[in-house]
């Protein structure tokens, strides 16, 4: 063997070794295929190359990459793979002569490819056939005797590289799937390292705390979760300092209030679950976070409700008892007009008790899902509004009432008693929250599909931070005026339920939203004209 031939083979082996190292360092599948093709073609000064990969799901081969082949021809290449057996460990002799097929394909599309010869290199990893490399050469080219052997050694390395790249793609896809699950989770999710620094911070948790994810990641737990008060005995920092988690210990639950970035308070419940390695040491801590603010508000509302209802029940009962006891005194003979007055007070207080009990029953029916409407009547909202205004005029002389309804205001099929309840609740609230008197306007309008009624007052308006709970049960404005006024906080809750049961909707707006200097609030509801 001549010295020059030995040098060529040494350079060939060194080239393939360098390419193999490059493959080992690359995990992107498209880049791996590009390196495989370029190296295979360059090694024998080839004219073109083709890589086909096995698809284990569809049990067939597909063209994955090509080099030196015109694009108008490349799209026809899948037919070249027909008849290629998909079998693990298939031998080269069992595969069809693809160079002959390419020659026929070139004739069919009338392109001079000059690809008369081919070396086929199966890429196998163990018993699995990963794919095949085809290297094409002109008819006049003479392959060196050991070129196929050298290239096959390279193909074995290429098979490992392709398999690693595919595994890497699967890992990346799984990571993206898990990231998407974390990001779209309704619960807040935070992952901490053993030093309690934040590694993952999802979108839901950003909404709860006001911290943007990129701003929170890298900070310590206590910089972001700043407890104002705790309902549990300890937090995660103290627990870790005291040796948590012990073998077999459950996840740690911490509950309390934190301050958001905008200064608002939010009540959170956090479950910390440790991730341990084989030696029992913490590698990560996964924190599942839930916003308990509404739940705590509901608890407070129910406490307030019990207090208010106790007062609302006790007051009329005490009045009834007092007047009845006075009338029964045997040492006094009451004139008829005094008796009528006392009986009127007793009747009025009894009516208030009845209304209160009815509201409580309606709320429980809503809770139980047995709330039903009686849609047997043609109802005119103008008549209901007129009667409501007349009734309240007698009770509150310091308020004026104005009605503005168009002519031919249409009737609707509805539950008259329930809609009367809605009107009573809206007008009663307008009076309560306009304590110094003023004008209350009842306005009607209609379209071909809906009738609409608005109740507008000149009262205190609704603060922005209270708007979200106006229609919640047991909810009342948290101010000095509401604490002086009577009510259970069920009126608007029931009104919304009644309107929505009619397939309508109810909403409100402060008057200052349309006129900057105008006080008060307008509540509006609309009901479909056709029975539904």
Of 133, 129, 130, the C-alpha closest to 121 is 133
Q: What phi and psi values does residue 500 have, to the nearest 5 degrees?
A: -70, -30
pLDDT of 261 reads 83
In this model, does residue 312 exceed pLDDT 70? no
Q: What is the mean pLDDT of residues 69-90?
A: 57
Those residues whose C-beta lies under 8 Å from the C-beta of residue 22, and which sit 6 or more positions away, are 35
In this model, does residue 91 exceed pLDDT 50? no
Three-state secondary structure call for residue 242: coil
Contact (Cβ atoms closer than 8 angstroms) between residue 420 and residue 355: no
- Helices and strands in the chain, H and E counts: 15, 17
Of 433, 420, 413, 418, the C-alpha closest to 487 is 433
Residue that wins the pLDDT comparison between 258 and 87: 258
Please give the C-alpha separations between residue 173 and each of 33, 169, 240, in angstroms, as whole numbers: 19, 6, 34
In this model, does residue 219 exceed pLDDT 90? yes
pLDDT of 155 reads 79
Q: How many CB atoms lie within 10 A of CB 318?
A: 11
Report the chain's mean pLDDT, rounded to a whole number. Answer: 79
**CATH code, 377-528:** 3.30.565.10
Residue that wins the pLDDT comparison between 433 and 91: 433
Confidence band (pLDDT; 50, 70, 90) for 84?
low
Domains 187-291 and 296-368 share a fold: no
Our measurement of the distance from residue 239's CA atom to the centroid of its chain's CA atoms, rounded to an integer in Å, reads: 31
Contact (Cβ atoms closer than 8 angstroms) between residue 379 and residue 409: no
**Helix pair 293-327, 336-368: axis angle to 10 deg:** 160
Entry pTM:
0.46
Q: What is the mean pLDDT of residues 221-247?
A: 89
For residue 304, the number of C-alpha atoms closer than 13 Å in the C-beta half-sphere is 19
Q: How far is Cα 477 from Cα 301, in angstroms, rounded to an integer? A: 11
Burial of 250 (0-12, 13-18, 19+ CB in 10 A): exposed
All structural domains of the chain with their residue ranges: 3-172, 187-291, 296-368, 377-528
Q: How far is Cα 371 from Cα 354, in angstroms, rounded to an integer? A: 18
Q: What is the mean pLDDT of residues 503-522?
A: 90
In this model, does residue 4 exceed pLDDT 60? no
Please say whether the structural domain 187-291 has been given the CATH code 3.40.50.300.
no
HEC states along 340-389? HHHHHHHHHHHHHHHHHHHHHHHHHHHHHCCCCCCCCEEECHHHHHHHHH
Q: How far is Cα 222 from Cα 151, in angstroms, rounded to an integer? A: 59
Q: How many CB atoms lie within 10 A of CB 357?
A: 11
In this model, does residue 92 exceed pLDDT 50? no
- Distance between the two ends of the chain, CA-based, in angstroms? 98
Kindly report whether the peptide bond that precedes residue 245 is cis, defined as omega within 30 degrees of 0: yes
Our measurement of the distance from residue 223's CA atom to the centroid of its chain's CA atoms, rounded to an integer in Å, reads: 26
Q: What is the mean pLDDT of residues 352-376?
A: 75
Contact (Cβ atoms closer than 8 angstroms) between residue 396 and residue 388: no
pLDDT of 157 reads 78
Please give the C-alpha separations between residue 80 and each of 84, 97, 103, 385, 530, in angstroms, as whole numbers: 8, 10, 11, 83, 67
Q: How far is Cα 162 from Cα 64, in angstroms, rounded to an integer? A: 11
**CATH code, 3-172:** 3.30.450.40
Confidence band (pLDDT; 50, 70, 90) for 386?
very high
**CATH code, 296-368:** 1.10.287.130
DSSP state of 190: E
DSSP state of 464: G
Q: How far is Cα 458 from Cα 512, in angstroms, rounded to an integer? A: 11
In this model, does residue 394 exceed pLDDT 50? yes
Q: How many CB atoms lie within 10 A of CB 333?
A: 7
Of 21, 69, 20, 15, the C-alpha closest to 42 is 15
Q: How far is Cα 204 from Cα 196, in angstroms, rounded to an integer? A: 20
For residue 445, the number of C-alpha atoms closer than 13 Å in the C-beta half-sphere is 7
pLDDT of 482 reads 47
Q: How many CB atoms lie within 10 A of CB 157?
A: 19
Q: What phi and psi values does residue 191 have, to the nearest 5 degrees?
A: -115, 130
For the stretch 146-191, pLDDT in tens is 666 667 777 777 888 888 888 888 888 787 777 776 777 778 889 9
CA angle 172, 174, 177 (to 5 degrees): 110
Contact (Cβ atoms closer than 8 angstroms) between residue 452 and residue 531: no
Return the residue matching tokens 């503005």.
404
Confidence band (pLDDT; 50, 70, 90) for 113?
low
Q: Report residue 479 as tokens.
A: 């101010």
Q: How far is Cα 101 from Cα 107, in angstroms, rounded to an integer? A: 10
Return the residue matching tokens 């595969």.
95
pLDDT of 129 reads 78
DSSP state of 77: G
HEC states along 468-486? HHCCCCCCCCCCHHHHHCC
């Amino acid at each position: 063997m001549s010295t020059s031939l030995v040098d060529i083979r040494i350079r060939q082996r060194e080239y393939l070794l360098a390419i193999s190292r490059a493959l080992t360092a690359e995990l992107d599948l498209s880049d791996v295929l590009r390196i495989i093709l370029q190296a295979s073609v360059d090694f024998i000064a080839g004219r073109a190359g083709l890589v086909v990969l096995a698809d284990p799901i569809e049990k067939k081969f597909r063209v994955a990459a090509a080099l030196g082949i015109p694009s108008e021809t490349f799209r026809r290449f899948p037919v070249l793979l027909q008849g290629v057996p998909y079998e693990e460990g298939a031998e080269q002799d069992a595969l069809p002569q693809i160079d002959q097929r390419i020659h026929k394909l070139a004739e069919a599309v009338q392109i001079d490819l000059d690809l008369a010869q081919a070396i086929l290199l199966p890429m196998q990893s163990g018993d699995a056939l990963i794919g095949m490399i085809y290297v094409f050469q002109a008819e006049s080219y003479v392959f060196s005797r050991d070129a196929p052997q050298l290239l096959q050694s390279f193909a074995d390395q290429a098979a490992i590289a392709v398999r690693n790249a595919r595994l890497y793609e699967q890992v990346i896809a799984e990571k993206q799937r898990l990231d998407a699950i974390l990001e779209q989770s309704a619960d807040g999710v935070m992952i901490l390292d053993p030093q309690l620094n934040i590694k993952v911070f999802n979108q839901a948790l950003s909404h709860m705390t006001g911290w943007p994810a990129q701003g929170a990641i890298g900070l310590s737990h206590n910089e972001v979760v700043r407890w104002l008060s705790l309902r549990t005995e300890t937090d995660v920092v103290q627990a870790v300092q005291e040796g948590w988690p012990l073998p077999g210990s459950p996840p740690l639950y911490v509950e309390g209030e934190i301050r958001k970035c905008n200064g608002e308070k939010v009540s959170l419940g956090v479950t910390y679950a440790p991730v341990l390695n084989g030696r029992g040491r913490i590698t990560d801590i996964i924190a599942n976070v839930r916003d308990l603010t509404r739940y705590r508000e509901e608890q407070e509302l129910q406490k307030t409700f019990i207090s208010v209802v106790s007062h609302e029940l006790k007051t009329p009962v005490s009045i009834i008892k007092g007047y009845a006891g006075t009338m029964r005194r045997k040492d006094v003979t009451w004139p008829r007009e005094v008796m009528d007055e006392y009986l009127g007070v007793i009747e009025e207080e009894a009516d208030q008790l009845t209304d209160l009990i009815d509201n409580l029953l309606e709320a429980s029916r809503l809770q139980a899902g047995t709330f039903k409407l009686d849609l047997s009547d043609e109802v005119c909202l103008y008549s209901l509004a007129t009667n409501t205004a007349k009734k309240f005029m007698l009770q509150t002389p310091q308020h004026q009432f104005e009605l503005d309804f168009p002519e031919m205001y249409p009737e609707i099929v509805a539950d008259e008693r329930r809609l009367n309840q809605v009107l009573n609740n809206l007008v009663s609230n307008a009076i309560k929250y306009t304590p110094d008197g003023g004008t209350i306007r009842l306005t009607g309008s209609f379209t071909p599909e809906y009738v609409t009624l608005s109740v507008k007052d000149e009262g205190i308006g609704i603060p922005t931070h209270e708007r979200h709970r106006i229609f919640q049960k047991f909810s009342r404005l948290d101010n000095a005026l509401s604490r002086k006024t009577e009510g259970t906080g069920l009126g608007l809750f029931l009104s919304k339920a009644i309107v929505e049961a009619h397939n309508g909707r109810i909403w409100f707006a402060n008057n200052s939203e349309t006129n900057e200097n105008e006080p008060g609030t307008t509540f509006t509801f609309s009901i479909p004209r056709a029975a539904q």
